[in-house]
Amino acid sequence: MPDTSALAVCVGEGLVSFVPATAGPLEEARTFHRSLAGAEWNTAIALASAGIRTAVVSRVGDDGFGRFLTAELRQHGVDGRGIEIDPDAPTGLYVKELSSGPDGSIDGTMHYYRSGSAASAMSPDTFESSPASDLLAESALVHTSGITPALSDSTRAAQDALFDAPREGRLISFDVNWRPALWRGREDEGRAVIASYARRADIVFCTQPDAEAVFGTADPDRLRELFPEARYLIATSRSGAVSFDGSERTESEALDVPVVESIGAGDAFAAGFLAGILTGLSLTGSLARAHRIATRALISTRDHVV
């Protein structure tokens, strides 16, 4: 029987997102809605919504935005004890710029204000202090992404520490999450760094645009050839997903649902798949759960499931 009490720990930066009330250029926006964002935090909330015991390890500023983020996690049932409070550095944020698509959907462009944030000071020491160390030691799965090593030298060292630590049965999940703005001027380095994590992870998620930008191909079978080390490799596109468990290969179509905005859907998809794996579902069952949870992030301009 699967262990339904298994703990998933998500490691990465939480951000405050400001979303305009209406689509249009930012200079014309007068009202914004505040919400929680950040890839790994979105995944944590979706995992908790799927009934998985979930915690976040990160850092926030000793400010109103940091308190807002930690309160949001608690409201969604995510354990935030592994979040350090930085007395000096601020909590990161971004502003989303919305534009209407020709099919009635909304496209979002993100403008980041995260340089020098509290989370950018994460380091291997972050994982040595309790309760973060206790949570990681207990975890059945640790989820992170290609965003974290792009933030600073210390966050890259922290990511290396996660991947280099003895697994002891723990799974490491890695979402490529290519953010070219964070690698500006060092894109080739970024591609090499992300490829190195993909080769060391147990579970790898990659979208079609990210695969093309980072690895030069979005063909799922070619990606499997490039990254045979991961047990699970999941390549997603707007039309669906191709997933591998070792040599087993499964395809699935995306669910036909109205799309308000797609940002955050990949994080929810990852959470659904991970929830399936942690509760003993088959590859096909895990993909089905991933698609169902992803639809919950498509129905609003928030980044996390509602």
- Residues serving a catalytic function are 267
For residue 202, which of 245, 155, 158 has the smallest C-alpha distance? 245
Interatomic CA distance for residues 219 and 242, integer angstroms: 10
H helices present in the chain, as ranges: 39-49, 64-75, 132-138, 148-151, 153-164, 187-200, 208-215, 220-226, 265-278, 283-295
Residue 59 near residue 122, CB atoms below 8 Å: yes
Residue 294 near residue 272, CB atoms below 8 Å: yes
Under DSSP, the state recorded for 120 is G
Interatomic CA distance for residues 216 and 66, integer angstroms: 38
Torsion sign (Cα): 51, 146, 156, 112: negative
